[in-house]
Each structure stands twice: as structure tokens, then as C-alpha cells.
Amino acid sequence: MQIPQQLLSSLDGLKDYDEKSFLDVHSSGQHVTSLRVNPSKPADVLFGNVEPAPVQTSVPWSRYGRYLDTRPSFTFDPLFHAGCYYVQEASSMFLEQALTQTTDLSKPLRVLDVSAAPGGKSTHLQSLISSDSLLVSNDVIRARANILKDNMIRWGGSNVMVTFNDPGDFSRLESFFDVIVIDAPCSGSGLFRREPDAINEWSEASVRLCSLRQQRILADVYPALKQDGILIYSTCSYSTEEDEDVVDQLTADYDLQSLPIACDPGWGITEVITPRGAHAYRFWPYKLKGEGFFIAAFKKISGAGEPFRKTRKKAATLTAAETARVLAWCQQRDVAFVRHEQTVYAWREEMAYDMNFLLQNLRVIYSGVLVGELKHDKLVPDHALAMSSLAGNNIPRVDLDHASAIRYLQRKDLVISGTATGWHLVCYKGQELGWANILPNRINNYYPKEVRIMKDKE
């Protein structure tokens, strides 16, 4: 692996930087495999079908993080598709410490993840905030936002809104958010070990361009953070132009107070103090079990508190008869059912006003839980309902073995004997995978085409 000499020279003199160790770890061929379990979908055993099963150890800075000593085929693990865990780089899980040490998570919060795709940090945030908090997960590119939507649906949260907006669109939501997370687009040098092809894309010009983009994103979203709100900034770059320099620009241009994050010395994380006195944290891959990462947290010490919110129109609701049809599929858990044409969504009642407000001010592609579509006096349930905790306990379930679960996830024909006809939740080891409609002479597989397993075998 040929690390650009310009990058190596730029790192000289940084705290805890050692060029030999840096080069050695990148040429070692070692890869760290880590995942984060979903606390709302606890599985008794992960990788029970793998022999021998990977050994799991804890990521020290995340209660949900796990290292694996080998990398199994996640694609052919039904529990991955059930949303029981998310495969995520361990260093980036330090977001958990940045959030839990700066924010009262017992309170209802409005949280914005600005550059959220494919969903690692958003699924993490959703696991950390309270159920009556609202998470807005955004990506500026529609195709990436669609992947983000699929991952948020798989995770199963009902307090999430997925949007595809330019960061500048959030400036009109003045003082709306309690927490804003910016995992900024960067030159990617921290991921060279995991993504060697990124080396060919790296250049000093790219670093400068990314730094300017990062500063623009921060300027765009800053008005949306309320007074005493928390801003968390991170990159997967080693370059000071994208890290310490941006942090110092933040404290120079905005009324932000840098916040320290306590780290156990055994974690191997490097705390740095920038020239302007801000606290920031670097992850060197030869000092810890993870990739290159940088993070800093701030509190906004001026501005408005609770925002002024005014909606132009109310969300469309259901008739009494339509509500009865929907409730036949759902556990009523303090949700409001709203509709867009024939499509029904479930919003938590305490955040329905906020969701409607955002729906009128942002480009929204998903919100709450998509329950299904009303057709001919019936409800056709959506995959999102199956993946959520809203699906009713009265709905029959069928648990498949591993081979049958893979066939289901490939959207192939199924053979299920001794089961009554009608709609069923298809499960694997008690975890829901999606819907099937069992008819007298066939089974209709309703697993979504866009997320099906495309490969025939491992």
C-alpha cells in the first residue's frame, strides 16, 4: 500500500503520530471487523449458523459495539436483514461518548444527522435517544438517501424522518434542533486500510476542497441549532485542514464552546488541543482497534431557544372506517395515522406536529412507520410495518430455518406446510424478516425487490 508522501509529510509533528507505525499498520493486511447490535431487536445468538461462530468482544467506547475475530458472510445472515445489528467501523462508534457525555438523553430531543447515508450513525443515534425524540436523517443525494431509508426501516425505529436536502435548506429551520451531527464528507484518508482504492482519489487539492465544503456545511446548518444545543463534528480524515483547522474556524466564526469528552486511557484515543484551545480526538489505527477518525463536540451559547413553528396545513387523517382497518394490523401505541393519497403512515402522537412542520419545509422521503396502502377496503401492509414494533401481536407468524429464510430474502418461491392461509409475518429465530401471503395453492413472497439478496450462494 503506497501512502501518498504528501499525506505523510503533513502528519509529521501531530500528537502521537509515528510514521513507521502508521506505515506498518497500513501494510500489515490486518482488517478490523466490528458491528453494533440493535437494542430494540435483541437476538439470542448471532451467527448461530456459522461454524465456528466468530468470537465477539466489546468495543470499549460503545455499549452496543462488538468486535469479531473473523468476518462472516453478513449477506447470508438473516439476522442482518432483520436489523438485529449494523456492520460499522468501531472508531466511529465513539459518537456514543460524544452524545452521552454532552446531552441529557432522558429528555425528548430533536436531532439532525446532516450527512447520514448509508445510516451507521443514524441507526446509532436512534438507539441512544429516547422514544419520544425525533431524528431527522438527511443526505443530499437522492440515491444515497434511498439506501439510508432502507437501513432505517430495517433498524425498526418509528421516530425517524428521512430527507434529501442540501444543508443550506436547514438554515430556515432556525433554532429547531437540540443536537446536530455532522459526519462531514472528507478526503477519506482514515479509511485507506479498509478501502485501498481511496488512495487513488486522495490529493492535496481534494483535502482543500473538502475543507471548504465542510465549512460551508457547518455555516449552513448552524442557524438550525438552538441555544445550548450540541454540535458534533467528525471526519474519517487525518488531515489537519479537515480536522483541527475546521474546528478552530468554528470557534472563531461562531458562538460555540468546545466540550471535552472523557476517555479511558486504555482506549488508546489521542486527545488534542487545537491552537485556539478546542478539544478534539484523533484515532490512530496503530494505537487502537479501529480506523482513522476525528471528532469534536461543541455547545452553542447564544441564539434562540424553542423555535417558532407554524404549519400551513394539517396532515391528512383517516376516516373512522379506515382507522379500524389499519388497527387490525397495528398495536396502537400512541400513534397518529396520516395518509398521503392511499398510503398510510404512523407518527408518534407527541411528534406529529413537528413531522408535519418538517414535511412542509423539507424534501421528505420517509417518516414514522409506513404502515401500508389502502386498496379496495383493505390494507396491504408495507415491509416497514413488519420491521417495526408496531405490527400487532395478533398477526400470525411463521419461523423459517436458515435455508428457507435465505430463499425468502432472495424473493424466491417458498414451501411452508401445515400453516393456515392468509398474511403472515415471516421470521427467523423469532426476528421478523417481512411479509408473505399464504394462499391455498401458492405463497406470495412480499420481500421488497430493491433489498433482496441478489447472489445465489456465498
pLDDT tens-place string over residues 323-381 = 999 999 998 778 999 999 999 999 999 999 999 999 999 999 999 999 999 998 899 99
Residue 83 falls within a domain, yes or no?
no
Q: How sure is the predictor about 285, in pLDDT bands with cuts at 50, 70 and 90? A: very high
Residues 6+ apart with CB under 8 A from 308: none
Query: What is the grid cell recorded at 408?
Result: 425468502
Task: Using alpha carbons, list the distances in angstroms from residue 344 to 341, 370, 374, 385.
Answer: 8, 6, 7, 11
426, 454: one domain: yes
CB 224 within 8 A of CB 173: yes
- CB count within 10 Å of CB 220 equals 17
Residues 6+ apart with CB under 8 A from 401: none
Residue 225 falls within a domain, yes or no?
yes
135, 278: one domain: yes
Q: Residues 342-357, buried b or exposed e (16+ Cβ, 10 A)?
A: eebbbbbebbbebbbb
Q: Report pLDDT for 115.
A: 97
291, 351: one domain: no
Q: What is the largest CA-CA distance in the chain?
A: 72
379, 446: one domain: no
Residue 43 falls within a domain, yes or no?
no
Question: DSSP state, 16?
Answer: T
Segments forming the whole domain that contains residue 369:
309-392
Q: Which alpha helices (DSSP H) does 197-302 contain, by range?
A: 198-201, 204-221, 244-253
Lowest mean pLDDT among 159-163, 232-236, 330-334, 421-425: 330-334
CB 428 within 8 A of CB 387: no
Q: How sure is the predictor about 313, in pLDDT bands with cuts at 50, 70 and 90? A: confident
| Region class of 335: left (phi > 0), else alpha (psi between -120 and 50), else beta | beta
Length of the chain: 458
Q: Could you tell me the end-to-end alpha-carbon distance of the chain, in angstroms, rounded to an integer? A: 28
Residues 6+ apart with CB under 8 A from 319: none
CATH number for the domain spanning 417: value is: 3.10.450.720
- Has residue 61 got a pLDDT over 90? yes
Q: What are the strands, taking DSSP E only, across 329-382?
A: 335-340, 343-348, 364-367, 369-375, 378-381
pLDDT tens-place string over residues 133-192 = 999 999 999 999 999 999 999 999 999 999 999 999 999 999 999 999 999 999 999 999
Q: Which alpha helices (DSSP H) does 259-401 contain, by range?
A: 320-327, 352-359, 383-387
Query: What is the arithmetic mean of pLDDT over 428-439?
Result: 96
Q: Report pLDDT for 303.
A: 77
203, 329: one domain: no
291, 315: one domain: no
Q: How sure is the predictor about 309, in pLDDT bands with cuts at 50, 70 and 90? A: confident
CA angle 293, 294, 299 (to 5 degrees): 145
Query: What is the grid cell recorded at 399?
Result: 419461523
Residue 28 falls within a domain, yes or no?
no
Q: Is 263 one of the annotated active-site residues of the chain? A: no
Q: Report pLDDT for 1.
A: 77
CATH number for the domain spanning 96: value is: 3.40.50.150
Query: What is the arithmetic mean of pLDDT over 378-397?
Result: 95
- CB count within 10 Å of CB 306 equals 9
Calpha distance 390→384 (Å, rounded)? 10
Number of domains making up the chain: 3
292, 314: one domain: no
Give the burial class of 279: count Cβ atoms within 10 A of its Cβ; 0-12 exposed, 13-18 middle, 19 or more buried.
middle
Residue 336 falls within a domain, yes or no?
yes
CB 319 within 8 A of CB 246: no
Please give the residue that has the higher pLDDT: either 316 or 433: 433
134, 195: one domain: yes
Domain final residue pick, 342, 370, 392: 392
Residue 195 falls within a domain, yes or no?
yes
Residue 189 falls within a domain, yes or no?
yes
Q: How high is the mean pLDDT of the chain?
A: 95
368, 415: one domain: no
DSSP string of 251-267, one letter each residue:
HHHS-EEEE-----GGG
289, 349: one domain: no
Residues 6+ apart with CB under 8 A from 57: 66, 67, 69
pLDDT tens-place string over residues 69-111 = 999 999 999 999 999 999 999 999 999 999 999 999 999 999 9
CB 139 within 8 A of CB 113: no
319, 285: one domain: no
Phi, psi for residue 272 in degrees, rounded to 5: -120, 150
Domain final residue pick, 271, 300, 329: 300
175, 276: one domain: yes
Tell me which of 84, 186, 210, 236 is the catalytic residue: 236
Q: Residues 134-143, buried b or exposed e (16+ Cβ, 10 A)?
A: bbbbbbbeee
